[in-house]
């Protein structure tokens, strides 16, 4: 059984992430979306919230019964080993992603030679898209419907409103 892990911050999930999820899920028997807990960047959403948002998005999509979502902390290779995953899925948007991703992929393979990283090149329409861009636009009340799945739009605005009212 081919088990893949797609790790990331997903703060929040974007249409770029969803595109990678759907494409990668067709190549494995099981895809685990791993939401990173111990983030050095201070995330907007808690890990549990990010997991819930992804689950909500996946629920609306066909052929996703073999996709699960969970948070993790510690080393990615350890999490992959615990879950019997052989494949780590990552996305590449631009040359700027490449150097960092190559280093991480090579390091992970060195730590555990049973695990390989598979890269998906971004679909052209999402090549500019990141969670940071979404947060910047939403923070100023801008329209994010081209950037995130419909079912989470309100949650992103609500989050900014709740921060403002503290």
- Give the footprint of ligand ADP on this chain (CB under 6 A): 8-10, 14, 16-17, 20, 90-91, 93, 97, 122, 126, 129-131
- 164 is known as an active-site residue: no
Task: Provide the 10 A C-beta neighbour count for residue 25.
Answer: 22
**Residue 126 Cβ, how far from ligand ADP at the closest point, in Å?**
4
159 is catalytic: no
Residue (of 102, 88, 121) closest to 19 by Cα position: 121
Choose between 1 and 155: whose C-beta lies nearer to ligand ADP: 155
- Decide whether 1 or 101 has the Cβ nearer to ligand ADP: 101
Name the residue nearer to ligand ADP (CB basis): 76 or 86: 76
Q: Considering the complex, what minimum distance in angstroms separates the CB of residue 47 from ligand ADP? A: 12
Within a 10 A sphere around the Cβ of 55, how many other Cβ atoms? 16
Least separation in angstroms between CB 112 and ligand ADP = 18
Distance CA 69, CA 48 (A): 10
The CB-based long-range contact list for 101-110 (8 Å cut-off, 24+ gap) reads 108/76, 108/77
Q: Measuring CA to CA, which residue among 125, 41, 127 is closest to residue 91?
A: 127
Active site residue 41: yes
Active site residues: 17, 41, 93, 131
């Amino acid at each position: 059984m081919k088990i893949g892990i797609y790790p990331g911050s997903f703060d929040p999930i974007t249409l770029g992430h969803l595109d990678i999820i759907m494409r990668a899920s067709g190549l494995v028997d099981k895809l685990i979306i791993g939401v990173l807990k111990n983030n050095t960047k201070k995330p907007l959403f808690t890990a549990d919230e990010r997991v819930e948002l992804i689950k909500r998005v996946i629920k609306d999509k066909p052929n996703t019964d073999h996709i699960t979502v969970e948070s993790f902390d510690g080393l990615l290779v350890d999490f992959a080993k615990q879950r019997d995953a052989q494949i780590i899925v990552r996305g590449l948007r631009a040359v700027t992603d490449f150097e960092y991703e190559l280093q991480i992929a090579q390091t992970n393979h060195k730590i555990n030679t049973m695990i390989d990283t598979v890269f998906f090149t971004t679909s052209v329409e999402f090549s500019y898209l990141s969670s940071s861009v979404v947060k910047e636009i939403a923070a100023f009340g801008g329209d994010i419907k081209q950037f995130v799945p419909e079912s989470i739009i309100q949650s992103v605005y609500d989050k900014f409103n709740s921060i403002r009212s503290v």
